[in-house]
């Protein structure tokens, strides 16, 4: 008798395979469960610094084959990236995205920004030589994390909520200053025109994550990626597959937008270079919302996945921001977001 506890992840794969099969004519009946392939989205999780054999085995045990990680200080070195990728490959995992940080002068348009940008260019070349396909980054003037708080969800699980009322009157931080929206657009334009051509030559795609939380003003600064109009403007600055976004269906709904339509817009322009896959309940667009389990929010997660499969989006899908379960709290005192067990639920698999 078939096991009644078929994982949500396997069902999601099957749904994706069915959607792909039904888009072709003629189509043979789909048999069995769908699998990840060259032209399908690939479920991933963050490996962090836990590249031990035990850490890699935990992800393999829940069906994860692809991972992402932070990249460390810049400029990156090819040998370091290659070593990391080979270590993960030995554990059955493919590293396909690294987050780059450490260029604040470029973000704020300060003295030294050309030196920061050159480090990003060098890192892009190193990533390309090592075979890393995607580099993710942020361009926040200030990330409004002070507006986050935890509230109880089903069964007492920890939900992450955001309310702009908590932060709307906070002053700029001395180390950041206040920057107008126009100034931030000037800064990112300067950055992209210098970095994107090198990334493209190196065979690397850049993925800028939306502002999350997405209030229009954060500690006195405008947020370039805090609106759908901003996302569209960003990819038009330098038109290239290497100038793309992290499409986050949760943030899309936080903005009050339709995630399927937004995925279709950017997918048609080959600008989705990474995907964050999570659900929310939005009370006031951009200003007040709660991050929830994948099966209980306003985003039609199945419809989003069908759209990605229809596009033959082939890169990573990251079910980020796992909810906090008691089992994680008992093990490690988890705070605002969950740990391994919460990640298992977020991935759509029964927790251990």
pLDDT in tens, 247-284: 999 999 999 999 999 999 999 999 999 999 999 999 99
- List of residues 6+ apart from 97 with CB closer than 8 A: 44, 68, 69, 132, 133, 134, 135, 136, 207, 274, 315, 316
Share of the chain above pLDDT 90, in %: 76
Find out whether 295 and 312 touch, Cβ atoms under 8 Å: no
Look at residue 10 in the predicted model and tell me its pLDDT: 52
* pLDDT tens, residue by residue, 207-251: 999 999 999 999 999 999 999 999 999 999 999 999 999 999 999
**What is the pLDDT at residue 333?**
45
Band (pLDDT 50/70/90 cuts) for residue 4 is: very low
User: Whole-angstrom Cα distance, residue 204 to residue 78?
Assistant: 13
In sequence order, what DSSP letters do the residues of 132-197 get, joined into one string? --EEEE---S---GGGEEEEE-GGGPEEEEEEGGGTTTPPPPTTT----HHHHHHHHHHHHHHHHH
Q: What are the pLDDT digits (tens) for 39-90? A: 899 999 999 767 888 889 989 998 999 999 999 999 999 999 999 999 999 9
- Name beta bridge partners: 275: 247, 317
Residue 31 pLDDT more than 70? no
Q: What is the 8-class DSSP label of residue 337? A: S
The values of phi and psi at residue 156, to 5°, are 85, 5
Cα distances (angstroms) measured from residue 57 to each of 31, 43, 50, 123, 337: 29, 16, 11, 29, 22
């Amino acid at each position: 008798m078939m096991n009644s506890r078929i994982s949500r992840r396997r069902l999601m794969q099957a749904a994706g395979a069915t959607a792909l099969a039904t888009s072709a004519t003629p189509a043979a009946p789909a048999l069995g469960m769908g699998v990840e392939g060259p032209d399908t989205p690939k479920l991933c999780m963050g490996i962090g610094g836990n590249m031990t054999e035990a850490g890699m085995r935990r992800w393999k045990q829940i069906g994860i084959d692809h991972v992402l990680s932070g990249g460390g200080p810049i400029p990156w070195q090819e040998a370091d990236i290659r070593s990391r990728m080979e270590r993960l490959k030995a554990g059955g995992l493919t590293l396909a995205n690294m987050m780059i940080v450490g260029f604040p002068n470029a973000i704020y348009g300060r003295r030294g920004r050309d030196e920061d940008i050159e480090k990003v260019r060098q890192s892009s070349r190193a990533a390309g030589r090592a075979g890393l396909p995607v580099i993710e980054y942020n361009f926040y003037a200030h990330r409004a994390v002070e507006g986050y708080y935890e509230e109880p969800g089903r069964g007492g699980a920890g939900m992450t909520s955001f309310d702009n009322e908590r932060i709307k009157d906070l002053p700029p931080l001395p180390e950041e200053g206040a920057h107008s929206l126009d100034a931030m657009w000037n800064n990112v334009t300067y950055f992209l025109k210098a970095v994107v051509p090198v990334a493209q030559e190196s065979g690397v795609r850049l993925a800028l994550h939306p502002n999350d939380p997405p209030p229009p003003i954060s500690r006195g600064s405008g947020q370039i990626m805090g609106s759908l109009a901003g996302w569209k403007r960003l990819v038009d600055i330098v038109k290239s597959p290497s100038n793309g976004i992290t499409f986050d269906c949760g943030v899309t709904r936080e903005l009050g937008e339709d995630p399927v339509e937004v995925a279709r817009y950017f997918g048609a322009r080959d600008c989705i270079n990474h995907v964050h896959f999570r659900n929310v309940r939005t009370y006031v667009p951009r200003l007040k919302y709660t991050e929830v389990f994948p099966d209980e929010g306003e985003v039609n997660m199945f419809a989003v996945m069908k759209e990605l499969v229809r596009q033959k989006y082939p890169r990573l899908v990251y079910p980020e921001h796992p909810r906090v379960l008691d089992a994680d709290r008992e093990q490690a005192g988890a705070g605002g977001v969950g740990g391994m067990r919460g990640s298992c639920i977020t991935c759509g698999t029964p927790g251990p």
